[in-house]
Amino acid sequence: MTTKSTPQGDLVSVPALLFRNASQFGSAPAYREKEFGIWQSWTWAQTAQEVREMALGLLVLGLKRGDHVAIIGRNRPAHYWSMVAVQMCGAIPVPLYQDAVAEEMAYVLEHAGARFVICGDQEQVDKVIEVQQRIDHIDQVVYTDKRGLRKYDHSAMNWMQDVQAEGRAAETRLAGELDARIAELTYDSTCVMLYTSGTTGKPKGVVLSNQNIIETSRNSSEFDDLRSSDSVLAYLPMAWVGDFIFSIGQAYWSGFCVCCPESAHTMMTDLREIGPSYYFAPPRIFEQQLTDVMIRMEDAGRFKKWLFDRYMAVARRVGPALLDGKEVSAWDRLAYALGHLFVYGPLKNTLGFSNVRVGYTAGEAIGPEIFDFYRALGINLKQLYGQTEAGVFITQQPDGEVRSDTVGVPSPGVEVKIDDDGEVHYRSPGVFVEYYKNPESTASTKDAEGWVATGDAGFFEEGTGHLRIIDRAKDVGKMADGSLFAPKYVENKLKFYPDILEAVVFGRDRDMCTAFINIDLNAVGNWAERNNVAYASYQELAGHPRVLETIANHVGEVNRSVAEDPMLSGCQIHRFVVLHKELDADDGELTRTRKVRRAVIGDKFNDLVGALYDGSRTVSTETEVTYEDGRKGSIKATLTVCDAEVVTPGSKAMAAE
Amino acid sequence: MLDQSADGYVTEDGRQIGGVLMEMRNITLKFGGVTAIENISFDIREGEIRAIIGPNGAGKSSMLNVISGFYVPSEGEVWFRGARRPQLKPYQVARQGIARTFQNIALFHGMSTLDNIMTGRMTLMKSSIGAQAIWKGAAEREETEHREAVEKIIDFLEIQAIRKTPVGRLPYGLQKRVELGRALAAEPKLLLLDEPMAGMNVEEKEDMSRFILDVNDEFGTTIALIEHDMGVVMDLSDRVVVMDYGKKIGDGTPDEVRGNQAVIDAYLGVSHD
């Protein structure tokens, strides 16, 4: 068990926590990584040794205090270690999104003034070399996977294991220097700099101090009683604040084990093998898993299907109540126990959720059916609301008070208030220091008393004290007739259908709402297979009349549900198009965390938006697409503009127009 | 012109190419009255990527089959590692250190990726059938060693996610990659690739090119390949043999071949009268 104390004088940095763990949990596993088909593990003592060697090696290469070091790669122990090693040297780690194209990477590398770059593999090294022609402050490149890099010019490039070997060799010479630099770290030193995903405009560098990270990690670990026996699967981008808090902050505070998958594609298999006790995933992953389960059940035999349906009905009725510790009759308990034996247990095992004690989802609203499905299985899935600027946690749901439509109560140590315009503000020990090299943005986001504006509109629910988020404050607007326009609210309702991957609603200052819709290729593709619908490409499937019909039905249902709320009934969708391509971060339409960039999409597809409002039946368009290697191409398509059923308040359903 | 002395040469990107690994001397191959290959000579040097190109029906696949020992030339000699190669059975060729992939994928469709690549280790397994059946002691240790080698290949080709998937369920591009994996598992001195990019899209071609370059770079494997896609061939290979109607019409670096009038004619279609 962890000692749960406030940080004493010495626990003021991540390296300090590492030393504590190495002496306290020396032989307990700190990291696991699947490599060559086998899970390899490192204890806390071994980790401390590895990190120290890396830090010494970086000193040999000439890393100075206050330097920024960019880290670009997938979730691997060596990359996590390098962040802590950089901190030991008194420098600042800056993890970047590994799937960013060279152009995006150039902006961040230049803005951060990175002197060292640690790359995962050849792909990342190639991007950095491309960028290096324009940016002259990158002095050293270090890589962890040497494949394909043998022939590269190594005058300012090193393999991580060589760096560690040099560090070992220099131990006697540089140990004093390194220890001195570690001793200099204080609660106020910068722990990490993370770039926001940038739904609007350029990414901003959020500077988080040791205090931000350590106090947030302490509070949130205590909130969910995280212990050194827990484990987590680290598979979300390292550049995202959540991964930093879960896989470094909380892991080092509580001393639990961080497991890294073999590759991005094996994540589901690795999840099943590891069976983590602490799990985080954005709603999209839960949706995808549920869709997969449902697709498999469609293909299952009659008896299995009957068993599944019967016991899932029991689970939906009884499961959430059991989780919340409410009264449940003995008969229901028995039925649930049988269900666990036949269905829930094996299903959870297949999904990799057998051991999950605490699970979180955040980032987007999650569909109530999806949320309830996992809760019904007995998985303690909760919601939280957070931001990079807060070091993640603003509100979260305590055990026993979990619902799909709220984001919980303020996290320990966080104060939340709603201003007159309905915007949510918060103040906490996790509040960021500043936006790097951007005092104007810092000043407009954080006031003198430390209150931070979230940019989200929300309200506290009467009675329960739970926060509900309506929408991005910026996105909420008025339609031409003055009624309220809340696009996200409608988009979320649309996205709850497994067929719909993404939706973008337009309607600000217009007389009606319209939408772009992206189909989910997995779900719709499977439906097509079962219904003998032949298609050759995504584009063809997306334009299939039967698909359009299904989507139109979904939109109609959403309209009916939206119409129930008199305030929002104006947000019903009158017309929509199913897009011929998936919205993609490489094309700038989504952020790297898959959030919709409304303005970019509106601009790029303005011909389609025009067609939605001028009454045309079809529209021809040509769209530029970017391939993974940064080259451009274009696709042409003729899209059908569909009408949806809308409900006039106080009357029966009628067709649009 | 490259310095093609007995000691080898240095490529544009600075790789040292060694001495002659395989030499084809005046090869002629006839099927009844049809002459598939007519009096062709060229060599393949250690560490190089050597391409054989030519229009359809030029005799490229026949040439590869002669190299692999599957066809016995009607006339001429094949020299491998400094000795004249007698007529060999396919497994004997494999033991000499030559492995290949096929134009039409030839994998075991019901077996997993892992097992398919494991079969590539066949020629390197030493324990007897009996010992393997009992699976104790040496046989068990041996399998562990082979499994480790196979896992390194799986990692190298980035196919961890399909390790346990039956190859029959895999898309074409991945099957090609598995087949390359199986050839690599034999730890060949000379790797023969028969149209490794046929039927692939641009992205798959780029991936495959990267793997071919990496194989050559990491393991120092000599590679001889046949390929239709001129862009790919010119980017990948160190030296190119051009064939047309069973004859060699060009041989040299990609630049030399590109400027060769006979080659241009063959590709742009000058009438043969």
Residue pLDDT, tens place only, A434-493: 999 999 989 989 998 999 998 888 889 888 889 988 777 777 778 888 888 888 888 888
Please compute the mean of the pLDDT values over residues B236-248 and round it to a whole number.
Answer: 91
Residue B5: per-residue pLDDT? 54
Residue B179 domain flag:
yes
Instruction: Flag whether B102 is in a domain.
Output: no
Mean pLDDT of chain A: 89
In a domain, B243, yes or no: yes
- pLDDT digits over A159-210, tens only? 999 999 999 999 999 999 999 999 999 999 999 999 987 666 788 999 999 9
Between A13 and A1, residue with greater pLDDT: A13
Q: What is the pLDDT of residues A483-541, one digit of tens each?
A: 888 888 888 888 888 888 889 999 888 889 999 999 988 889 888 988 888 888 899 99
- A148, A151, A262 member nearest B160 (Cβ): A262
Among B129, B157, B187, the domain-final residue is B187
Asked if B155 has any chain A CB less than 8 Å from its own CB, the reply is yes
Tell if the CB–CB gap between B156 and A147 is shorter than 8 Å: yes
Chain B interface includes A419 (CB < 8 A): no
In this prediction, residue B3 has a pLDDT band, given cuts at 50, 70 and 90, of very low
Is the Cβ of B154 closer than 8 Å to some Cβ of chain A? Answer: yes
Mean pLDDT over B198-203 rounds to: 84
Kindly provide the ipTM of the predicted complex, given to two decimals. 0.78
What are the chain B neighbours of A266 within 8 Å (beta carbons)?
160-161
Q: Could you tell me the CA-to-CA distances from B103 to A500, A650, B153, B167, B236 in Å, in that order? A: 40, 68, 21, 16, 18
Say yes or no for a CB contact (<8 Å) between A148 and B152.
Answer: no
| Cross-chain CB nearest to B158 (options A35, A37, A263) | A263
Q: Are B131 and B180 in the same domain? A: yes
The verdict on B22 and B129 lying in the same domain is no
Element containing residue A399 per DSSP (H, E): none
**Is the domain of B160 the same as that of B172?**
yes
For residue B212, pLDDT beyond 90: yes
Please tell me whether residues B266 and B220 are part of one structural domain.
yes
For residues B139 and B182, state if they share a domain. yes
Q: What is the pLDDT of residues A543-565, one digit of tens each?
A: 999 999 999 999 999 999 888 87
Strand B190-194 versus strand B222-226 pairing type: parallel
Please state, in angstroms and as integers, the Cα–Cα distance from residue A539 to each residue in A161, A284, A505, A520, A631, following that order: 46, 22, 21, 12, 20
Is residue B111 domain-shared with residue B134, that is, in the same domain? yes
Place of tokens 């399909």: B162
B18 and B93 inside one domain: yes
- pLDDT digit string (tens) for A319-360? 888 888 888 899 999 999 999 999 999 999 999 999 999 999
pLDDT category at B2 given cuts 50, 70, 90 is very low
- The 3-state DSSP class for residue A210 equals helix
State whether B222 and B143 are in the same domain.
no
Domain boundary among B171, B187, B203: B187
* pLDDT higher than 50, residue A150: yes
CB-based contact A192:A238 (threshold 8 Å)? no
List CB contacts (< 8 A) between B218 and chain A: 147-148, 150
pLDDT digits (tens, 9 = 90+) for A415-430: 999 988 888 999 999 9
| Pick from A226-235, A394-403, B110-119: least confident | A394-403
* A37 touches B at CB < 8 Å: yes
Regarding whether B246 and B144 lie in a shared domain, the answer is no
CB-CB under 8 Å, A265 with B160: yes
pLDDT bucket at A4, cuts 50 / 70 / 90: very low
Q: Record the tokens describing residue B266, joined without a space.
A: 């063959």
Residue A500 · residue A494 · CB < 8 Å? yes
Q: Go through the domains of chain A in sequence order and give each one's CATH number.
A: 30-185+230-276 (3.40.50.980), 283-427+440-472 (2.30.38.10), 477-654 (3.30.300.30)
Q: Is residue B79 part of a domain?
A: yes
Starting at the edge strand that comes first in sequence, how are the strands of the sheet with A434-435 ordered?
A190-195, A205-209, A434-435
Instruction: Give the mutation candidate from A262, A268, A271, A632 for the B interface (greatest B CB count, under 10 A).
Output: A262
Nearest chain A residue to B202, by CA: A627
**Residue B242 placed within a domain:** yes
> Which residue in the set B155, B161, B203 is minimally distant from A265, CB to CB?
B161
Where does the pLDDT of residue A288 fall: very low under 50, low under 70, confident under 90, or very high at 90 and above? confident
Instruction: Name the one residue in this structure whose structure tokens are 């220091």.
Output: A433
d(CA A371, CA A366): 6
- Averaged pLDDT, A596-610: 88
- In Å, how far is A513's CA from the nearest CA of chain B? 39
Q: What are phi and psi of A143, to 5 degrees?
A: -125, 155
Residues B122 and B199 occupy one common structural domain: no
A632 touches chain B (CB under 8 A): no
Domain closes at, from B187, B213, B246: B187
User: Hey, is the C-beta of B171 within 8 angstroms of any chain A C-beta?
Assistant: no
Residue A463 DSSP SS3: coil
- What's the total number of domains in chain B? 2
Beta-strand (E) ranges in A449-594?
Answer: 452-460, 467-472, 477-478, 484-485, 500-506, 513-519, 573-578
B39 and B15, same structural domain? yes
Worst-scoring range by mean pLDDT, A252-261, A600-609, B87-96? Answer: B87-96
Domain housing B195 = 1-97+189-273
CATH number at residue B273: 3.40.50.300
What pairs with residue A259 in β-bridges? A32, A233
Q: Cα angle vertex A517, ends A516, A521, to 5°?
A: 150
In 3-state terms chain A splits into helix, strand, coil percentages (rounded to 5) of 40, 25, 35
User: Do residues B75 and B207 both lie within one domain?
Assistant: yes
Confidence of residue A271 (pLDDT cuts 50, 70, 90): very high
